[in-house]
Amino acid sequence: MVIVVGWLVRPTLNVKPWVEQRPVKDIDGDGALRLPTIKVGLGVFLTVATSLFALLISAYHMRMMAADWVTLALPRVLWLNTAVLILAGVAMQWTRSAAQWGQIDNVRLGLIAAGVLTFSFLAGQLWAWQQLNASGYFVRNDPATAFFYLLTALHGLHLLGGMWVWGRTTAKVLRGVEVAKVRLSVELCAVYWHYLLLVWLVLFAVLLHTHT
């Protein structure tokens, strides 16, 4: 973190601010990242989300070492869900390239496909919860189950947040706005989807690793 901020002040690191003298045109945008603000915003948010998931996973690992840990059997449907989420990521990537090439029809198709796949993933996750519940596990039963619900729920909530942006973008595309106006949104969606796919793969690996 200090490194990041250090990098930001890098251009002015050795400058004495009270004698700093440069033409305004050189100062313009000093230190600011030459990226769209919304992208910087997403970057900061993903950093925060990463720290959240990383810390949860480490808390999970440490809790697991306690003697009262009981493992639970993961529902098989999670494998299917994983495949669906990967497909959703692929669809998003495809949409992104379509947006770059300006193919509005493909953008429309890709967005809808990605949305449907993502909803299927979320439904599949709910189904997994249902299965766990049916087989007698309940949130309060033991820490392993509690962590499973917690991790999947948080991941799902992040996806739902993404779906909100997806919904707005898709609505725009369906209304027929030109492709340039949604290019940035599509790109942000794609980055976000890839990120959440990555998070899910890590989470799934962690859960699998400790349940076999």
The answer to whether residue 134 forms part of the interface with other proteins (CB under 8 A) is no
Part of the chain binding other proteins (CB under 8 A), chosen from 35-43, 129-137, 163-171, 204-212: 35-43
The answer to whether residue 23 forms part of the interface with other proteins (CB under 8 A) is yes
The answer to whether residue 55 forms part of the interface with other proteins (CB under 8 A) is yes
The answer to whether residue 164 forms part of the interface with other proteins (CB under 8 A) is no
The string of DSSP letters for 156-193 reads HHHHHHHHHHHHHHHHHHHHT--HHHHHHHHHHHHHHH
Contact with other proteins (CB under 8 A) among 86, 97, 112, 149? 149
Supply angle C-alpha 148, 116, 175, rounded to 5.
Answer: 135
The answer to whether residue 126 forms part of the interface with other proteins (CB under 8 A) is no
The answer to whether residue 68 forms part of the interface with other proteins (CB under 8 A) is yes
Which are the contacts of 189, defined by CB distance < 8 A and separation ≥ 6?
92, 95, 96, 114, 162, 165, 166, 169
The answer to whether residue 25 forms part of the interface with other proteins (CB under 8 A) is yes
Part of the chain binding other proteins (CB under 8 A), chosen from 43-51, 90-98, 106-114, 199-207: 43-51
The answer to whether residue 142 forms part of the interface with other proteins (CB under 8 A) is yes
Task: For residues 90 and 109, give the distance between their C-alpha atoms in angstroms, rounded to a whole number.
Answer: 13
Task: For residues 194 and 92, give the distance between their C-alpha atoms in angstroms, rounded to a whole number.
Answer: 8
Instruction: Please provide residue 141's backbone torsions phi and psi, each rounded to the nearest 5 degrees.
Output: -60, -55
Q: CB-wise, 97 or 156, nearer to other proteins?
A: 156
Exposed, middle or buried: residue 121 (CB in 10 Å: 0-12, 13-18, 19+)? buried
The footprint of other proteins (CB under 8 A) covers: 1-2, 5-6, 8-9, 11-13, 15-21, 23-25, 27-33, 37-38, 40-41, 44-45, 47-49, 51-52, 55-56, 59-60, 62-63, 65-69, 139-140, 142-143, 146-147, 149-150, 154
